[in-house]
Amino acid sequence: MPTQKPNVIFITTDQQRYDTIAANGYPHMITPTLDRMIADGVNVENCFVQNPVCMASRSSIWTGRYPQNHGVTTNGIQLPKTEVTMAHTFLQNGYHTANIGKLHFVPHKGEGRDHSINATVYSGYGYEYNLVSEAPGPYPDDYMSWVEREAPQYIDGVRYRLAQSVGPESLFDLWDFQAPEEIHNTAWVATQTREFLLNYRDPRPFFLTVGFFYPHPPLNPPRSYVDMYDPATIPMPTQHPSDMARSRNAGVSDETWRQMRRYYYALVTQIDRHLATILETLQAAGLADNTIVVFLSDHGEMLGDHCETSKGPSNYDEILHVPCIFYAPWLLPSKRKVSGLVEAIDVFPTVADLCGVRLERGVKGRSIAAALKGETDETRPDVLAEYKDTRNGIHVKTLRDERYKYFYYGDGREVLYDLADADQEVIDHAAEPEYEPTIQALRKRLLTRLMQAQDDLPPKTHDW
Ligand SMILES: [Ca+2]
C-alpha cells in the first residue's frame, strides 16, 4: 500500500436506471466503458436509493444519512449547511475536495437571470473547488458561462426552458442536440474532469465528485448517439392492463415509447464514451494505481414501465434500483459481484473505509468494504426509502427485502407487493388474509428500521 491515502473520483449520473448497462444483463445497451468497469471492478447489483427524487436522494448519498435525518425529504428543500457532507469529511482528513458538474443541494428557482448557480451559492458544503452545473441551459452557471466564452455562436442551441427538463411530460419532448458534441453538458463535465486530472499538483490526495446531469431530460443527445440504436431492437416497456387503466399515458404508441427509450439510451451511451476518456486520462496522468473510481446514479426513471414516466413516490424498482460500481483494479477484486441488498447511503461510508478516512457522527450508512473485497457476502436484509412532501401531501415509507416490498403511508394505508409474482409490483396483497402474517412481520421490521434510522444528533457527550 502506498503511504498516501488513495484519490477518489465519485461519479454520479442523474436518473439512470439499473438496466441501462449491457453488463448488468441488458445486451440492447451500448455501454463498453461501464461494461469494462464492471469486468475489472466490483458490481453492486442491488443498490437502492433512499428517496425517489433528486435533491433528497443526493442529500442522502452525500451525507450517508436518511431523508428524515437531514430533512430533505423531497425536491425543493435546501440541504442545511449544518449537515456534514462527504466533501467536509474528506477535507477534514487531509484531502483536496473538488466538484465538477451537478450537485443539486439548492432548489431550482424561476427561469432566467433571477437565479444563478455557482461556487458562491455552494459555499459551506465542503468543496474547495467547484465548477457547478445543475440543469444545464435554463439559467447562468459555470457551464453556461463556458459556452458563452468558448462557443457563443451555439448558446441558443444549448439553452432550453426549465419546464423542458422537469415533470413526466418532459420525457416525450425529444430533439437532437443543436451544437457540436463538445459543447454538450456531458462533454463539458468530462473535459473539465480531464483538465483537473492533468493539472493536479496539490500534494494532498483528491476527493473529486463528477456529476453528469444526463440521462435526465431533456432527452437531447447528439444525433450520432441516437443513430447507434435501431428502434426495432429497443425493448418495449412492461405495462400491465391495470397500469394502463389508471394511466394518462395509456394511448401512447409503441413507436413513441421506443423513440423515448432510444433517446434516453443514447444519452447513457454518450456518458459511457466520455467515461472512457476520463479513465484514459487517469492512466495518462499516472493516477490510475492510486485512485478509487465510484459510479452511482441518484435514482432511476420509469421510461414507460407501468405506463409511467419520470420518477417520484411510487417507489417502483425502476426508480429506486440504481447502478453502483466500485472500480479500483489495484485495490479491489475484478469481476466481483455483490448481490445482497445495499443502500445508497452505504456508498460514502464504504469509500471512507477504503481510504482510511474517519467518519463524523451521524452517518447512518454502513461500509460494505468487506463485501467488496470478497471477505463476506453479507450486506443488508432489507432497504428503506422515505418520501414526504408537504405540498402534495404524500408521506410514504417503503421497506424492500429480497421477496417483498411494503409501503406504509402517512394516512395509515398499506400496500404489499410480492416480488415473486409474475407481474412485478402490480398486485397489492395488503388486504389478502394469507398475507396477514407477512404484513405483520414487515410492519414490525419497518418500525424497527425507523427506530434505528432516528438521528443520533445532537450527540450525548456527558453522563448528566
Ligand atoms: Ca435526479
* Span from the CA of 63 to the centroid of ligand 1 (angstroms): 16
In a domain, residue 459? The reply is: no
* Span from the CA of 463 to the centroid of ligand 1 (angstroms): 43
* Span from the CA of 316 to the centroid of ligand 1 (angstroms): 15
The closest alpha carbon to 139, from 126, 123, 121, 124, belongs to 121
* Span from the CA of 191 to the centroid of ligand 1 (angstroms): 22
* Span from the CA of 461 to the centroid of ligand 1 (angstroms): 37
Q: Which residues contact 101 (CB under 8 A, 6 or more apart)?
A: 131, 132, 133, 185, 189, 192, 209, 210, 211, 212, 213
The span from the CA of 147 to the CA of 139, in Å, is 12
Are 344 and 416 contained in the same domain?
A: no
* pLDDT tops 80 at residue 63: yes
* Span from the CA of 57 to the centroid of ligand 1 (angstroms): 8
Share of the chain above pLDDT 70, in %: 98
Handedness of CA 448, 451, 452, 453 (dihedral sign): positive
Q: Which residue among 384, 412, 430 closes a domain?
A: 384
The span from the CA of 118 to the CA of 277, in Å, is 25
Which residues fall inside 5 Å of ion ligand 1, going by CB? 14-15, 54, 298
* Span from the CA of 80 to the centroid of ligand 1 (angstroms): 18
Q: Which residue among 336, 352, 384 closes a domain?
A: 384
What Å distances lie between residue 314 and 53, 104, 242, CA to CA? 11, 22, 15
Secondary element (H or E) of residue 46: strand 42-48
The closest alpha carbon to 359, from 125, 127, 65, 79, belongs to 65
Phi (first) and psi of residue 224, to 5 degrees: -60, -30
C-alpha cell at 125: 458544503
Q: Is the peptide bond before 27 cis (omega within 30 degrees of 0)?
A: no
Which residue, chain included where needed, has cell 483528491? 206
In a domain, residue 464? The reply is: no
* Span from the CA of 436 to the centroid of ligand 1 (angstroms): 36
Q: In 3-state terms, what secondary structure has residue 419?
A: coil
C-alpha cell at 448: 424497527
C-alpha cell at 117: 448557480
The span from the CA of 28 to the CA of 235, in Å, is 8
The predicted-structure confidence for 194-247, as pLDDT tens digits, reads as follows 999 999 999 999 999 999 999 999 999 999 999 999 999 999 999 999 999 999
Torsion of CA 48, 50, 53, 56, to 10 degrees: -140
* Span from the CA of 15 to the centroid of ligand 1 (angstroms): 5
* Span from the CA of 299 to the centroid of ligand 1 (angstroms): 6
Tally of structural domains, the chain? 2
* Span from the CA of 336 to the centroid of ligand 1 (angstroms): 28
In a domain, residue 297? The reply is: yes
The span from the CA of 149 to the CA of 163, in Å, is 25
Are 250 and 364 contained in the same domain?
A: yes
* Span from the CA of 298 to the centroid of ligand 1 (angstroms): 5
Are 403 and 271 contained in the same domain?
A: no
Amino acid 114: pLDDT: 59
In a domain, residue 247? The reply is: yes
* Span from the CA of 224 to the centroid of ligand 1 (angstroms): 25
The predicted-structure confidence for 118-151, as pLDDT tens digits, reads as follows 888 899 999 999 999 998 888 889 999 999 999 9
In a domain, residue 331? The reply is: yes
What Å distances lie between residue 6 and 74, 206, 328, 333, 357, CA to CA? 34, 8, 10, 16, 10
In a domain, residue 394? The reply is: yes
* Span from the CA of 268 to the centroid of ligand 1 (angstroms): 14
**Structural domain for 101, as ranges:** 7-384
Amino acid 258: pLDDT: 98
Are 168 and 155 contained in the same domain?
A: yes
* Span from the CA of 56 to the centroid of ligand 1 (angstroms): 9
Are 103 and 162 contained in the same domain?
A: yes
Strands 42-48 and 321-322: antiparallel
In a domain, residue 462? The reply is: no
C-alpha cell at 84: 456534514
Which residue, chain included where needed, has cell 424497527? 448
* Span from the CA of 76 to the centroid of ligand 1 (angstroms): 12
- Give the global pTM: 0.97
Instruction: Report H helices in 362-435.
Output: 369-372
The span from the CA of 451 to the CA of 441, in Å, is 15
* pLDDT tops 50 at residue 1: no
Are 378 and 398 contained in the same domain?
A: no
Share of the chain above pLDDT 90, in %: 92
Are 402 and 260 contained in the same domain?
A: no
The predicted-structure confidence for 263-275, as pLDDT tens digits, reads as follows 999 999 999 999 9
* pLDDT tops 80 at residue 306: yes
* Span from the CA of 455 to the centroid of ligand 1 (angstroms): 25
* Span from the CA of 375 to the centroid of ligand 1 (angstroms): 33
Are 293 and 405 contained in the same domain?
A: no
Are 256 and 392 contained in the same domain?
A: no
In a domain, residue 140? The reply is: yes
Secondary element (H or E) of residue 358: none
Q: What is the mean pLDDT of the chain?
A: 96
* Span from the CA of 14 to the centroid of ligand 1 (angstroms): 5
* pLDDT tops 60 at residue 112: no
Are 278 and 334 contained in the same domain?
A: yes
* Span from the CA of 333 to the centroid of ligand 1 (angstroms): 30
Q: Which residue among 384, 400, 416 closes a domain?
A: 384
* Span from the CA of 464 to the centroid of ligand 1 (angstroms): 44
* pLDDT tops 60 at residue 113: no
* Span from the CA of 52 to the centroid of ligand 1 (angstroms): 8
| Residue 164 pLDDT grade (very low, low, confident, very high; cuts 50, 70, 90) | confident
* Span from the CA of 75 to the centroid of ligand 1 (angstroms): 9
Mean pLDDT of 31-60: 98
Are 256 and 329 contained in the same domain?
A: yes
Handedness of CA 219, 225, 227, 231 (dihedral sign): negative
Are 377 and 393 contained in the same domain?
A: no
Q: What's 182's domain CATH number? A: 3.40.720.10
Our measurement of the distance from residue 309's CA atom to the centroid of its chain's CA atoms, rounded to an integer in Å, reads 17
